């Protein structure tokens, strides 16, 4: 009997790699649903290859075009994730991949948990802002959760056989992005093109900019704290230019364990789908890298956004939604060349350290509506203050 698969965000990097991994074993899997924001041509191609009967196209104009252009295909084309509420029966999906971008991915991720035996989540914003909601859903529906970011997947594989009290410290690694070895670079002159030049990973614009500022590691530390219930003072960031080591744990018994693999997201995706059923053919162990790891404590003066972690509340709060919202807002302005790289860093810090935003640390996360409401409020405030001079 074939195993049912759902992939939200199938036209993005993670979605495409997930399909590549199951492509050679199409006889074992049945892809029931794919989604995209607006990449109509690719999702139709994917639907044909994998014989998918249901697709979601979120962009309304693209949806209307696709609905008319492909009306003769035996494919149901939808414009909303609401079909997750009535199209599928609970626990009929063996494996779901939530590879959506942004906080808008939280609601469909919550819907998908109810339907899935296993769910892989790559959506950082969901795990940062909505973890209490995700955790509750996972428990209610007894759904297995698999983190897919290389750091958290590695962390999960390392600590799953240990108790919380066994763990002394956790270290996640960061490539350092394009500016690690250029600490004296004039931040006012950094272009969008410069910031997008990630040395090891091929990623979208937003995550590439986050990697250059190290905001991606800020979010990953928050994710790690949430997923593994580890205190912030036990989680450290190490720069590691080769991206070969992804996580290290220091145990109270004196042992240090680590996970290493090529800078290839197919490895965690593959291991989240297959259970020793198939051999993944990759390159041999790279002894050259292992003999020269270049692991170093992160320079917080060079990457000032990391200092945000010094002031995080112990519990999940609406402050995390503020971090995601404010960062998203200014990264978009930088990508569209409306602010400089230096302004990107300064504006994020200025707003996150403002009294009004800091007050959000006192408010616990209760529901999705609350998260979306505060996000909209912050955006409205930013629209008024975005060009206010900062000394």
1-57 tens-digit pLDDT? 789 999 999 999 999 999 999 998 888 999 999 999 999 999 999 999 999 999 999
What pLDDT sits at residue 390?
Answer: 54
What pLDDT sits at residue 202?
Answer: 66
Q: Where are the beta strands (DSSP E) in the chain?
A: 3-8, 29-36, 54-57, 76-78, 93-98, 116-121, 144-147, 167-174, 235-239, 245-251, 256-260, 296-297
Q: How far apart are CA 290 and CA 293, in angstroms?
A: 6
What pLDDT sits at residue 9?
Answer: 96
Q: What's the pTM? A: 0.92
Both tokens of 351, joined, read 């707003």
Tell me the β-bridge partners of 31. Answer: 5
Domains of the chain from N-terminus onward = 3-147 (3.40.50.720), 150-301 (no CATH), 313-391 (no CATH)
Ranges of residues in the chain whose predicted pLDDT is under 50: 391
Both tokens of 94, joined, read 């063996």
What pLDDT sits at residue 84?
Answer: 92
What strands lie across the sheet with 76-78, from one edge to the other?
76-78, 54-57, 29-36, 3-8, 93-98, 116-121, 144-147
């Amino acid at each position: 009997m074939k195993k049912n698969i759902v992939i939200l965000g199938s036209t993005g990097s993670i979605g495409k790699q997930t399909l590549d991994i199951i492509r050679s074993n199409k006889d074992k899997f049945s892809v029931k649903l794919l989604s995209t924001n607006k990449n109509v041509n690719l999702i139709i191609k994917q639907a044909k290859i994998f014989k998918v009967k249901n697709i979601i196209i979120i962009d309304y104009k693209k949806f209307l075009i696709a609905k008319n252009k492909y009306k003769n295909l035996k494919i149901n084309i939808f414009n909303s994730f609401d079909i997750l509420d009535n199209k599928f029966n609970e626990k009929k999906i063996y494996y779901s991949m939530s590879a959506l971008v942004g906080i808008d991915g939280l609601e469909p991720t919550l819907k998908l948990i109810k339907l899935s035996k296993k769910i892989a989540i790559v959506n950082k914003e969901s795990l940062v802002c909505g973890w209490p909601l995700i955790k509750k859903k996972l428990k209610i529906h007894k759904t297995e959760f698999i983190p897919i970011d290389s750091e958290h997947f590695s962390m999960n594989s390392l600590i799953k056989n240990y108790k919380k009290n066994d763990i002394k410290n956790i270290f996640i690694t960061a490539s350092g992005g394009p500016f690690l070895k250029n600490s004296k670079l004039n931040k006012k002159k950094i272009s969008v093109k410069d910031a997008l030049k990630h040395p090891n990973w091929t990623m979208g614009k937003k995550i590439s900019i986050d990697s250059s500022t190290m905001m991606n590691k800020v979010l990953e530390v928050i994710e790690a704290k949430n997923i593994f219930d580890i205190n912030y003072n036990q989680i450290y960031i190490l720069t590691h230019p080769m991206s070969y080591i992804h996580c290290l744990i220091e145990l109270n018994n004196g042992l240090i364990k680590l996970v290493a693999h090529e800078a290839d997201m197919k490895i965690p995706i593959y291991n989240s789908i297959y259970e020793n059923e198939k051999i993944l053919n990759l390159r041999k162990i790279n002894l050259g890298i292992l003999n020269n790891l270049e692991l170093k404590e992160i320079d917080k003066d060079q990457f000032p956004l990391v200092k945000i972690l010094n002031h995080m509340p112990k519990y999940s709060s609406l402050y995390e939604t503020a971090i995601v919202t404010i960062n998203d807002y200014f990264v978009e302005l930088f990508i569209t060349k409306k602010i400089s790289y230096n302004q990107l860093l300064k504006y994020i810090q200025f707003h996150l350290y403002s009294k009004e935003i800091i007050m959000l640390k006192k408010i616990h996360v209760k529901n999705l509506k609350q998260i979306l409401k505060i996000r909209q409020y912050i955006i409205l405030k930013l629209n008024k203050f975005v060009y206010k001079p900062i000394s």
